[in-house]
Amino acid sequence: MILRYSRPDMVSLWSHEARLARWRDVELAALEGMVLEGIAPKAALDACRAKAGSFTADDAARIDEIEKTTKHDVIAFLTFMEQRIGPDARWLHWGMTSSDVLDTALGMTLRDAGKLLIAGVDRVLKAVEAKAFAHKRTIMVGRSHGIHAEPISFGHKLAIWFDELRRGRARLERAVEVIAVGKISGAVGTFAHLPPTVEAHAIRLLGLAPAPASSQIVQRDRHAEFFAALALLGTSLEKFAVEIRHLQRTEVREVEEPFTAGQKGSSAMPHKRNPILSENLTGLARMLRGYAVAALENVPLWHERDISHSSVERMIGPDATVTCDFMLHRFAGLMESLNVYPEQMKKNLALLGGVVNSQRLLLELAKRGLDRQAAYVIVQRNAMKLYEDGVDFKSALLADTELAAAMSAADVEACFTPDYHLRHVDVIFDRVFGRH
């Protein structure tokens, strides 16, 4: 984690103290299940609950010191708990394996991280929806291959983003459900020393679902799905950011990131107003995709488990969730303060003298009886005069005698009304937002 790209709420989920508290909660939940099954005495549970306590930075440092000898983090934790609680601590971890604690605690952490991420998506959705309705009929040129195509509204563009974000939210919700599982099934998942009823009770108590079948670990396809959902969500944010970067280019300048009082764009050029927020989102999205690849690599472990996934998850767990959380709130803030320039959009729309209406003319000629290819030749040759000779498209059309035989000047003029392209925008908004 890098603090520059972090928010405290998400970072706190991954603190050493929070991790130890979850390990404690798993151990106590399992012990409660053992008491209910008559395996452990209730007095031991009462003593462990009373003395387990919370964890300070000093406690975490002490456990780290013990680990220097044990070379095993869970054993270091249990050693510390024995020192803190006393003889009753012998019932902690009874019949369990380290991954019962680690994987269950990780499931709790990723579940809670997922909830924060969903809240972040909701903020983004709200910001995008507000801007979409504000600019539902703000006409601009649509572009394909980076070249002027036909008119669109800026609100329509944002409705597409909203729909994609909603899919990302649904994927994230499913991924949280998939990852919110735990296991207390023992060394190879056979419940050799503890019955499944202990697991069922403990896992429910922790707000998770028990993995239907496990080896020594919870299977890592679940984790891969979670991190893939984050990567795809981040990639959508990058897609939107790249569009903003293109639209902010000096030659376009249809939208612009907020530029706050006192902000400086360049150490050398005082005039610069760079799209640094969008560029930052692009870079962070690359990291999220890398974390997803690492999570995929964790799926094929040896037999009932090996430890090759452990170091990976210690890194990508906090890094991916913290990064995605930061991206969501950065993009939400960007959208909430995004500057939109409708007049510049109109100016760019008119830049090529109305050639963006070429398809409408083509279809009108075909409707009047011309073969499509013949109509295409008429419209294209007049459009090319703009590129090659600088002749205004409409003027070229009106001077074309072959075209005049099929369409009057008024008919040609009628094909240049921009609102024609927005006539179904309400239908699109109804489909996306359920209202217009």
Sequence-separated (6 or more) residues with CB below 8 Å from residue 312:
294, 295, 297, 298
One of 266, 308, 424, 436 is an active-site residue; which one?
266
Question: Is 424 part of the annotated catalytic residue set?
Answer: no
Question: Is 236 part of the annotated catalytic residue set?
Answer: no
One of 145, 271, 303, 311 is an active-site residue; which one?
145
**HEC per residue, the chain:** CCHHHCCHHHHHHCCHHHHHHHHHHHHHHHHHHHHHCCCCCHHHHHHHHHHHCCCCHHHHHHHHHHHHHHCCHHHHHHHHHHHHHCHHHHHCCCCCCHHHHHHHHHHHHHHHHHHHHHHHHHHHHHHHHHHHHHCCCCEEEEEECCEEEEEEEHHHHHHHHHHHHHHHHHHHHHHHHHHCEECCCCCCCCCCCCCHHHHHHHHHHCCCEECCCCCCCCCCHHHHHHHHHHHHHHHHHHHHHHHHHHHHCCCCCCEECCCCCCCCCCCCCCCCCCCHHHHHHHHHHHHHHHHHHHHHHCCCCCCCCCCHHHHHHHHHHHHHHHHHHHHHHHHHHHHHCCEECHHHHHHHHCCCCCHHHHHHHHHHHHHCCCCHHHHHHHHHHHHHHHHHHCCCHHHHHHCCHHHHCCCCHHHHHHCCCHHHHHCCHHHHHHHHHCCC
Report the catalytic residues. Answer: 145, 266
